[in-house]
Amino acid sequence: MKGTYVVILALVVLLSMSLSSFAADETPKYIMGIDGDYPPFTFIDADGTPAGFDVDSIHWIAEEMGFEVEIVPFAWDGIIPNLLAKNMDFIYSGMSITEERAQMVNFTEPYWVINQAVAAREGEGKTLEGFLAGEYTVGTQRGCTAAMWVEDNLVQEGIVPRENFMLYDNFPIAATDLIAGRIETAIMDEPAVLMAIEGQPLEMIGTISTGEGYGIAVRKEDTELLNMLNEGLERLKNSPYWEELKEKWDM
């Protein structure tokens, strides 16, 4: 009987060691939510694969910090509710840090700073002054800080009639309507505008200095994840790959 007990005890110890070893070797995996139509930061390429500055960045950070990442596109105007509903673990997709958003989520330290830019069709003589005076119809992506800026500074102030303010699922659709003449101007973060007008009969007519910092958003309770992402960003920005990324994406 004693011998049987010893054998059973040995098996229990071995099983415990095996399970502990398995747990130690298990690599954490996180779901990253993105805007699938926000080049050069995040977009879905022709092969259906997530691509962009932020996508390349997270792959480097994941390898550096020892975790795996799955990248999933979400509708931008519902991306924070999806994060809070735990349909993803963090948002890394050119998201501006705002007071309103910071009431719902926590952000990493900023990794990029942008201003808003206004585009119009080439050769029509439209100006930033005319835009700010409410002389043109305007379009942008719903749920973005450009939409918030127009709403707060032009629509609410009575400068732009609400019927002259068009909202779209993403900025490429707004740019398409701008080319087609369905709107007269379009506003968005400057990198997105520069990408959208490249090779198109469009021009940037000016910028609005908003100095918005981009950050990675996590749920309030996920402090460990936040600290890890902050550390990963710091390592990335101090590595040669950061400059390579900026050159690759013409930032």
Please give the sequence-ordered ranges of beta strands (E in DSSP) within 3-96, or none if there are none.
29-34, 37-38, 42-44, 50-51, 68-73, 90-91
DSSP 101: H
Residue 12 has pLDDT above 50, yes or no: no
| pLDDT (0 to 100) of residue 3 | 46
| pLDDT (0 to 100) of residue 131 | 98
Residue 159 has pLDDT above 90, yes or no: yes
Which whole number is the average pLDDT over 103-113? 98
The answer to whether 185 touches 119, Cβ cutoff 8 Å, is yes
Distance CA 42, CA 85 (A): 22
Domain ranges of the chain: 27-111+215-248, 114-212
Nearest to 186 by CA among 162, 165, 212: 165
| pLDDT (0 to 100) of residue 251 | 87
pLDDT single digits (tens) 30-60: 999 999 999 999 999 999 999 999 999 999 9
Give yes or no on whether 27-111+215-248 and 114-212 have one common fold. Answer: yes
pLDDT single digits (tens) 117-153: 999 999 999 999 999 999 999 999 999 999 999 999 9
CB atoms within 10 A of CB 92: 28
- Dihedral (CA of 72, 59, 190, 204) sign: negative
Residue the block writes with tokens 């229990």: 12
Residue 6 has pLDDT above 80, yes or no: no
Residue 107 has pLDDT above 60, yes or no: yes
Who's near 144: CB < 8 A, 6+ residues apart?
76, 96, 171, 188, 189
Q: Which fold is adopted by the domain 114-212?
A: D-Maltodextrin-Binding Protein; domain 2 (3.40.190)
Residue 2 has pLDDT above 80, yes or no: no
Residue 207 has pLDDT above 50, yes or no: yes
Nearest to 33 by CA among 214, 209, 216, 174: 216
pLDDT band at 25 (very low <50, low <70, confident <90, very high): low
Architecture in CATH for domain 27-111+215-248: 3-Layer(aba) Sandwich (3.40)
